Amino acid sequence: LLDGLAGGVVEVHGVCMHENQDDGDTLQMLARIEFKLEEYLAYLDEAEDSGLGARVLAEEHKKERQRRLDLRLSRKLQQEKKIEDRLKASLQRSQAPVHKKVGKQIMFRSAPLFQARRVVQEDDGYEEAVREHNIFGIWLDKDGVPNAQQPEKAEG
């Protein structure tokens, strides 16, 4: 991962400095790139201040349009390459020899004779009613009617 990033830094450094010098550390190259970028931004600010703001803006739009066009073209090329690779793989699969199954067939697994059923207990709210009675001295039944007596477990 770091080697890939270092390669990218070397490439950008070569483009920015108009020379391909691979001397120094990656951090030093990044510092030089940042310095050059600040220098270019200062040139743009000077051009805007000197009355060429409309031209700078037009050039920025032109470059942005070109960048989007290049991005669209690269995506299209990637998609075409992906489709071509799929077609090649499909052709190879279709031309490959058929692999016959050899040997004894795997035994068919039948369904289990019975499935264990879980007993689902319906929550009648007994535990909550006991807790409310212990805390508040009253509890509410299912209909919302308050009761002062100790709750009893419903059978059924």
Cα(143)–Cα(84) distance, integer angstroms:
69
Q: pLDDT for 5-36, tens place per residue? A: 888 888 888 887 766 565 678 888 888 889 98
Cα(148)–Cα(139) distance, integer angstroms:
7
Q: Which two tokens stand for residue 68?
A: 């989007």
Q: pLDDT for 68-126, tens place per residue? A: 999 999 999 999 999 999 999 999 999 998 888 888 777 777 776 777 777 777 777 88
Cα(111)–Cα(114) distance, integer angstroms:
8
* pTM for this predicted structure: 0.46
